[in-house]
Structure 1
Amino acid sequence: MNWKKYAPIPYWQGILVALLLACLFTLKSYLRLKYFNELEYFKLGRTLGVHTVNYLLWALLLPLLNYFFERFPIHDSPWRTKGIALALSLTICFFHEFTSSLMLAIPANWLGYYPLGDDNMAYIIRGLRIAVPDRFLEYWIIYAILTAMRMQRKFRNKELELVKVENQLSSARLNALRLQLQPHFLFNTLNTISSLMEINVNAAQKVVSRLGGLLRFVLDKDERNFIPLREELEFVRNYLDIEQTRFNDRLSVQYDIDDATQEIWVPHLILQPLVENAIKHGFSNRSNDGKIEVITRKLDDKVEMVIRDDGCGTDLSPEELLRAGIGLSNVKKRLELLYGETAEMEITTRPEEGFSVCILLPIKRPEA
């Protein structure tokens, strides 16, 4: 058996705990006898020796005990397993008490305190029926402690696995968003470039340059979930510049960027679905001019990001919008995945009064 695998704690820690318990129970015996005015019966060396041997032996047996606890658990197990566990506990308790008695008797014999003869062995055997119940209680206390440690370890491992899965899921959604962006956006942009080549080559070159920067951002980035807001805003500018050209400058964009937010790290591609939503639902179906506002602010230990349009709006509730809109629901789910309950996303809209999405995030450090 691999002892290190089943040792719940390093041996030195087990020995240290055993020595501390021996001192504690020796002090308890002293105080009890002092309270009853029976200190003449208190023998420091013997009392300390008995407790030290008792708890040291339990410390040395910890890997074996842990192995049996895992092999024959009491909870959620058939009665056969419970019976084996009970039989093992009694066997170990008898073994522990008999061995600890010998560990005390042999040095006592060597030092001449009392001989290790038949009478002494008979005394040890008779004492088993008195001492084994105490060892039995100690055995199941150790069982409870090791089981709690094992459950805590499993819970912590599950948490780590969950975090790993959540990160993988977040990366998968980010990659899906990248793939979703390319065919949806490229088709319209290439049509714009084709049209401009006939009437305004300089404008076509400008769109090609913007498109190149945008695709480089999408395709060349690693799988980080977070980037500086400065980079996210650069992507949004390229995106909106292309859309402004496509709509013959009927679309105006207003930026209100707090310089203090530039280096704050935010989820990668968190604003693109909101900007796309503003163009698709707030502007593309209108014949008149439209405006989109991109606002960022630093509020103490949080960053606020707002995407607002002056489009037609809607009378749907935020809950209905999240159910109906893939882009909005993806943003909401990503925020929940990355921030839990510490992120806020507020949707404000009314018919003919435009559409606004406000995201409030705790400030992330670059190593996130």
Structure 2
Amino acid sequence: MAYVVLGWIILSLLCAPGFYLRSAAAGETPYADTALGAAFVASLGWAMSAFLLLVFSAWLNRRRLRTVAWLGTHLALGVVLVLVLLLLMRWWSWPVLGLADVLQMPDLSAALAVGWPRGLALYTALWCVVQIGGSWRRYTRLKAQLVSAELRRLRTQLNPHFLFNTLNAISELGYTDPEAADRTITQLSGLLRKSLDESHQQEIALRDELDFLRRYLDIQQTLQRGRLQIQFDVADNALNARVPGMILQPLVENAVTHGIGRSSAGGSIRLRAQREDERLVIEIEDNGWGLVIAAPRGGREGIGIGNTRARLNYLYGELAGLELNSQPGEGLTARIYIPFHEAYAFDENPHADR
């Protein structure tokens, strides 16, 4: 319906100059508002026809008709369309515009015979517009569904990857410190529960993402046995910003495993988040071995970094990105930037306190 009203307005605006010039040519004083009103009245028939066509299109799309029945239905509607236009001209447009006394309306049967080709052409054009519009809406809806499905696939890909790595580390800890291994399993259970609670959301508040990250780092600190130092530097005005759920964990895991985990002395990770104009910028910096040693064999990115890039691209396109800056032996800085928009209280996860 909104498209019909919009089309009516556009058609009226296009017709208004013609009525204005017609008044001037007739020696009358032209008025813009009068010309615009006349254009709206004159184009009402086209708007009504378009509305009827939309209703009919929705009805026809729900039915499977054979070719003969389909053509017959369209021909019948073409006749109805011409009749609607003629009746509106006789009983509405011409009397309101003052043309009924100047122009003689032809007989309906004669007008139908003469106007049939024009009405059929009009019907065909409107039908094509309706079908193109419907196809475009279906395309955009399917595209959104495909993007949503791909995002869910990318996120679910992280869970077994993260779970495998963590359980593998816990199994090694079980031989040397069973009490710490038991405590870590409990922490992992709580972490997975929180992950499931937020799995239905593509975006969550940064404060919730940081809460998830702190739980993950608690596990890592237990596994690293005091060799890992953590520092958070998050601006207050960034805490309510919306971020993709579980977007930081793969980067932190990469810093722990490939950066700090290779050093017998351990190391530190610093996370910074702040708003820069209309962007949220998050940096994860470690003082490990850097990108050359941490890079996977063959120069290809691992699951975590590749997954993060793909999710940012699907959600924000060119408005977001992931940058990696490093010097050999001086650590790695992963920098994420995304469009800044906030999460209000009613947007937050309703299951967070369960």
What's the TM-score, normalizing by structure 1?
A: 0.64
Match of 1:157 in 2: 138
- CA 314–151 in structure 1, closer or farther in 2 if over 3 Å, else same: same
Matched residue, 1:42: none
Could you tell me which amino acid in structure 2 is paired with residue 148 of structure 1?
V
Task: Give the 3-state SS of the residue equivalent to 1:177 in structure 2.
Answer: helix
Which residue pairs with 2:320 in the alignment? 343
Cα–Cα, structure 1 residues 23 and 256, in superposed 2: closer, same or farther, change >3 Å?
A: closer
Give the drift of 1:356: 1.3
Q: Is contact 1:18–1:56 with CA below 8 Å preserved after alignment?
A: no
Partner of 1:196: 177
Q: Does the CA contact (< 8 Å) of 1:97 and 1:128 recur in 2? A: no
1:232-251 matches, within 5 Å, as 232-251=209-228
Tell me the distance in 1 between the aligned counterparts of 2:253 and 2:137.
40
Instruction: Please give the alpha-carbon distance, in whole angstroms, between the structure 1 residues aligned to 2:143 and 2:155.
Output: 18
Q: Percent identity?
A: 27
Q: Secondary structure at the match of 1:324?
A: coil
Greater RCO (CA < 8 Å, at least 6 residues apart): 2
Counterpart position of 1:258: 235
Q: Which has the larger radius of gyration?
A: 1
5+ long unaligned stretches in structure 1: 36-47, 71-80, 105-112, 114-119
Question: Relative to structure 2, which stretch is displaced further, 61-70 or 145-154?
Answer: 61-70
State the number of aligned residues.
314
Specify the code of the residue in structure 1 equivalent to 2:327: R
Aligned match of 1:325 in 302, 317, 322? Answer: 302
**Is 1:170 paired with 2:151?**
yes
CA distance in 2, matches of 1:18, 1:308: 58
Q: Could you say which residue in structure 2 is the equivalent of 1:297?
A: 274
Distance 1:68 1:312, change over 3 A: same
Q: Is the partner of 2:226 in helix, strand or coil? A: coil
Give me the whole-angstrom Cα distance separating, in 1, the residues matched to 2:86 and 2:338. 62
Which among 203, 207, 220 is matched to residue 184 of structure 2? 207
- Per-residue CA deviation, residues 212-244 of structure 1 (Å, 9 max, x unaligned), is 332222234341112222222222222223222
Per-residue CA shift, 1:73-108, capped at 9, x if unaligned? xxxxxxxx9xx99x969x959x769977x969xxxx
Residue in 2 that maps onto 1:355? 332
> Does the Cα contact within 8 Å between 2:170 and 2:181 map onto a contact in 1?
no
Q: Letter of the aligned partner of 1:234 in structure 2?
A: D
Aligned residue for 1:266, secondary structure, equals strand
Q: TM-score, normalised by structure 2?
A: 0.66
Deviations 1:310-331 (A, max 9, x none): 2222359x9x998432211100
Task: Point out the more displaced range, 355-364 or 147-156.
Answer: 147-156
Letter in 1 for 2:128: T
Cα RMSD over matched residues? 5.0
State the Cα distance separating 1:29 from its structure 2 match: 5.2
Q: How far has the Cα of 1:359 moved from its partner?
A: 0.4
Matched letter for residue 312 of structure 2:
L
Aligned partner of 2:258 in structure 1 is 281
State the Cα deviation string for residues 154-201 of structure 1 (Å, max 9, x = none).
32332233223212321232222223222221221243245213xxx4
Q: Residues 327, 162 of structure 1: CA spacing in aligned structure 2 closer, same or farther, 3 A cutoff?
A: same
Report the Cα distance in structure 1 between the residues aligned to 2:213 and 2:198, rounded to whole angstroms.
15
Distance 1:211 1:145, change over 3 A: same
The question of 1:183 aligning with 2:164 is answered yes
- Partners of 2:4 and 2:47 within 8 A in 1: no
The structure-2 alpha-carbon separation of the partners of 1:314 and 1:321, relative to structure 1 and needing over 3 Å to count, comes to farther
For 2:249, give the aligned amino acid: Q
* C-alpha displacement of 1:269: 0.6
Answer yes or no: is the 8 Å Cα contact 2:46–2:85 preserved in 1: no
Shift of 1:333: 0.6
* 2:94 paired residue number: none
Task: Please list every run of 5 or more consecutive structure 2 residues that lacks an aligned counterpart in the other structure.
Answer: 29-37, 59-67, 92-100, 349-354
Secondary structure at the aligned position of 2:309 is classed as helix
1:1-40 equivalence runs, <5 A: 9=4, 30-34=23-27
CA–CA separation in structure 1 for the residues paired with 2:251 and 2:117? 65
Residue 223 of structure 1 corresponds to which residue in structure 2?
A: 200
Asked if structure 2 preserves the Cα contact closer than 8 Å seen for 1:322 and 1:329, the reply is no
* Aligned counterparts of 1:219 and 1:286: Cα–Cα separation in 2: 33
> 1:237-268: per-residue Cα shift (whole Å, max 9, x none)?
22223222222222222222223322322111
Shift of 1:272: 0.8
> Alpha-carbon deviations, 1:306-362, whole Å to 9, x = none?
11122222359x9x9984322111001101111222212211122222211100122
